[in-house]
Amino acid sequence: MSKNKAHVIVMGNEKGGSGKSTTAMHVIVSLLKKNFRVATIDLDSRQQSLHRYIENRQNYAQSHNLRLRMPDTYVLDRSDKNQLDDIRADEQERFDDLLSELWARYDYVVIDCPGSDTHYARLAHGIADTLITPVNDSFVDLDLIAQVHPDNFKVEKLSLYSERVWEARKKRAMKDRGSIDWIVMRNRTSSLDAKNKRRVHEALSQLQKRVAFRYVTGLGERVIYRELFPKGLTLVDFKDSAETEKMTLSHVAARQEIRRLMEDLNLPGWINTVVTAAE
């Protein structure tokens, strides 16, 4: 890629279990397949799901003699200082040091945030070029973005998280005049509950104008998005991992969802390819 600074993708949502780590892994492998140089940072020091996913990938590739593309993974340790101000300064320095190194060496840096508000997560939001927030198909999840009127879905009040993104946007604009492309993607949409699906769609359509994000279709609820975790694989890897013969129609549909998501993200240097069922 001709750009001289890596594009930073942050997976953020102050809620656990919405699909940040799962989506991160699928985005990472999609980018790797297109030969981008990708670095990852897992800021969820408690669960480390992304880190574990990638570890599983390394182990599986080794034990099965597979040449799978790998991202380079980095960790940021928490500060061991005692005072809050010292902790913040120390973490800011660690963060800046790591990022300045990664910006120069990679095309993409993918940062996976925990489902809570931490200092590192705030720093990550402040440098995001693309912020991806997966939400499950429920009004409980939408409530994390804004409170809406029950009848017409008009925004009544922004949530804490939206305010935080707003702060990050201001910080970013002041720092380098950059902007954050905030994308809210639906995750785990069910094919069964058409009514709820339509309502959530209406609410998100209303919300995107008021809260200034782009709302994209995202991913359906599918076993294939979770069952490959122990092997560290995604369905984007099928051709490279001898899993091809197990490909079903649902898998083909899932691949199309992933490609659609990658297109919708509108990332620099990403060139869409024609989807073929055989691939």
**Binding to ligand ADP (CB under 6 A): which residues in 21-40?**
21-22
Shortest gap between Cβ of 182 and ligand ADP (angstroms)?
Answer: 16
Residue 20 touching ligand ADP (CB under 6 A): yes
Distance CA(273)–CA(236), nearest Å, equals 13
Q: Which residue's CB is nearer to Mg ion, number 126 or number 134?
A: 134
**Choice from 49, 130, 187, 189 touching Mg ion (CB under 5 A):** 49
Q: What are the distances in angstroms from CA 129 to CA 10, 101, 203, 205?
A: 8, 17, 25, 22
* Binding letters toward ligand ADP, positions 140-179, x by CB under 6 A: ----------------------------------------
Shortest gap between Cβ of 16 and ligand ADP (angstroms)?
Answer: 4
Token look-up 């597979």 returns: 66
Shortest gap between Cβ of 115 and Mg ion (angstroms)?
Answer: 7
* Nearest in space to 185 (alpha carbons), one of 261, 74, 73: 261
Shortest gap between Cβ of 18 and Mg ion (angstroms)?
Answer: 8
Contacts with 256 (C-beta within 8 Å, 6 or more apart), sequence order: 275
* Nearest in space to 162 (alpha carbons), one of 141, 149, 145, 179: 145
Count CA atoms within 13 Å of residue 90 on its CB side. 12
Residue 17 touching ligand ADP (CB under 6 A): yes
Distance CA(177)–CA(160), nearest Å, equals 24
Residue 241 touching Mg ion (CB under 5 A): no
* Binding letters toward ligand ADP, positions 208-227, x by CB under 6 A: -----------x-xx--xx-
Distance CA(251)–CA(243), nearest Å, equals 11
Residues near ligand ADP, by CB under 6 A: 16-22, 49, 115, 187-188, 219, 221-222, 225-226
